[in-house]
Amino acid sequence: KCRTGPLDIVFVIDSSRSVRPFEFETMRRFMMDIIGSLDVGPNATRVGVIQYSSQVQNIFSLKTFFTRADMEKAINSIVPLAQGTMTGLAIQYAMNVAFTTQEGARPLHKKIPRIAIIVTDGRPQDRVTEVATQARNAGIEIYAVGIQRADMNSLRAMASPPLEEHVFLVESFELIQQFGKQFQDKLCGVDTCMEQEHSCQHSCISTPSSFYCECNPGYRLNVDGKTCSPIDACADGRHGCQHQCVSTRGSYSCRCRVGYYLNQDKRTCSMIDYCSFGNHSCQHECVSIPKGHYCRCRSGFTLQPDSRSCRATDLCNGVDHGCEFKCVSTEGSYHCMCPEGQQLQADGKACSKCGAGHVDLVMVIDGSKSVRPQNFELVKQFVNRIVDLLEVSPHGTRVGLVQYSSRVRTEFPLNKYHSADEIKKAVMEVEYMEKGTMTGLALKHMVEHSFSELEGARPLSHNIPRIGLVFTDGRSQDDISEWARRAKESGIVMFAVGVGKAVEEELRAIASEPVEQHFSYSADFTTMTHLVENFKLNICPEEGKGETEIRSPCECEALVQFQTNTVAILQSLTEKNILWAQSLAQMTARLEDLEKQIASKK
Rounded Cα–Cα distance for residues 194 and 197 (Å):
8
| Distance between CA atoms of residues 5 and 3, nearest Å | 7
The dihedral through the CA atoms of 475, 476, 478, 479 has a sign that is negative
Q: Higher pLDDT residue, 356 or 586?
A: 586
Which DSSP letter does residue 450 get? I
Residue 323 CB-density burial (10 A; 0-12 exposed, 13-18 middle, 19+ buried): buried
pLDDT at residue 551 in the model: 37
287: nearest Cα among 268, 306, 308:
308
Q: Report how far residue 370's alpha carbon sits from residue 362's, in angstroms, rounded to the nearest whole number.
A: 22
572 pLDDT above the threshold of 60: no
Question: H-type helices in 163-220, by residue range?
Answer: 163-166, 176-188, 192-195
- Which residue(s) pair with 489 in the sheet? none
Interior angle at CA 583, CA 579 and CA 588, nearest 5: 150
CB within 8 Å of 355: residues ≥ 6 apart:
540, 543, 550, 551, 552, 554, 555
C-alpha–C-alpha distance, residues 69 and 518, integer Å: 90
Question: CA-based angle 116:128:13, to the nearest 5?
Answer: 40
Contact 59, 5 (CB under 8 A): no
Average pLDDT over residues 190-213: 78
Could you give the CA distance from residue 300 to residue 287 in angstroms, rounded to a whole number? 18
Strands 408-412, 398-404: pairing kind = antiparallel
Task: Please give the share of the chain, as a percent, with pLDDT higher than 70.
Answer: 81
Predicted confidence at residue 396, as pLDDT, reads 84
pLDDT at residue 432, as a whole number? 93
| pLDDT score of 150 | 83
What are the beta bridge partners of residue 49? Answer: 11, 60
Cα gap 226→108, rounded to integer Å: 17
pLDDT in tens, 98-129: 999 999 999 998 888 899 999 998 889 999 99
* Residue from 96, 29, 94, 20 nearest 57 by CA: 94
Tell whether omega for the bond before 514 is within 30 degrees of 0, i.e. cis.
Answer: yes
CA 48 to CA 63: how far, in whole Å?
A: 8
Count Cα atoms within 13 angstroms, Cβ side, for 433: 18
**For residue 528, what pLDDT is reported?**
63
Q: What is the pLDDT of residue 537?
A: 58
The DSSP annotation for 112-126 comes to: --EEEEEEESS--SS
Could you tell me if 239 and 254 are in contact, meaning their C-beta atoms sit under 8 angstroms apart? Answer: yes
Residue 162 reports pLDDT greater than 90: no
- How far apart are the C-alpha atoms of 100 and 62, rounded to whole Å? 9
User: Given pLDDT bands bounded at 50, 70 and 90, which one contains residue 543?
Assistant: very low
Cis omega (within 30 of 0) for bond into 413? no
Helix (H, G, I), strand (E, B) or coil at 291: coil
| Segment 498-524 mean pLDDT | 86
**Range scoring the smallest mean pLDDT among 80-94, 312-326, 391-405, 565-579:** 565-579
Does residue 433 surpass a pLDDT of 50? yes
Q: Please write down the long-range contacts of 484-488, taking CB distance under 8 Å and 24 or more positions apart.
A: 484/443, 484/509, 484/510, 486/443, 486/447, 487/443, 487/446, 487/447, 488/512
What is the rounded average pLDDT of the residues 533-542?
Answer: 56
Specify the DSSP element, H or E, that contains 56: strand 56-60
More confident of the two residues 402 and 1 = 402
Question: Which CA distances in Å does 8 have to 131, 145, 180, 391, 548?
Answer: 20, 18, 18, 73, 78
Residues 451-486: tens digit of each pLDDT: 999 999 999 888 888 999 999 988 999 999 999 999
Dihedral of CA 189/194/199/205: which sign? positive
Q: Closest Cα partner for 457 from 397, 508, 408, 522?
A: 397
pLDDT band at 447 (very low <50, low <70, confident <90, very high): very high
Of residues 327 and 546, the one with the higher pLDDT is: 327
Mean pLDDT of the chain: 83
pLDDT at 224: 92
Region of 41 (left: φ > 0; alpha: ψ -120 to 50; beta: rest) is left
The whole-number pLDDT of residue 229 equals 87
Q: Beta strand 46-52 with 56-60: parallel, antiparallel or unpaired? A: antiparallel
At residue 506, does pLDDT exceed 70? yes
Measured from the Cβ of residue 405, the count of other Cβ atoms closer than 10 Å reads 22
The average pLDDT across 535-542 equals 56
pLDDT band for position 544 (cuts 50, 70, 90): very low
What are the Cα distances from residue 203, in Å, to 182, 321, 453? 29, 72, 58
Which domains are delineated in the chain?
A: 7-188 (3.40.50.410), 360-539 (3.40.50.410)
Check pLDDT > 50 for residue 546.
no
- How do residues 219-250 score in pLDDT, each as one tens digit? 889 999 999 988 888 887 778 899 999 887 76
DSSP 593: H
Selection from 161-175, 276-290, 398-412 with the highest mean pLDDT: 398-412
**What's the chain's length in residues?**
602
pLDDT beyond 80 at 446: yes
Amino acid at 260: Y
Reply yes or no on whether the pLDDT at 39 is more than 70: yes
Judged against a pLDDT cut of 70, whether residue 562 lies above it is answered with no
The answer to whether 8 touches 112, Cβ cutoff 8 Å, is yes
pLDDT for res 146: 86
Closest CA to 381 of 534, 539, 525, 537: 525
Q: Inform me whether the pLDDT recorded for 545 exceeds 50.
A: no
Q: Calculate mean pLDDT across residues 260-267.
A: 91
pLDDT in the model for residue 462: 83
Q: Could you give the CA distance from residue 132 to residue 95 in angstroms, rounded to a whole number?
A: 9
Q: Is the pLDDT of residue 189 over 90?
A: no
Phi, psi of 393 (to 5 degrees): -170, 165
* Cα–Cα distance for residue pair 216/403, rounded to 1 Å: 46
Strand residues in 163-309 grouped as ranges (E): 167-170, 203-206, 211-214, 219-221, 228-230, 244-248, 251-255, 260-262, 269-271, 285-289, 292-296, 301-303
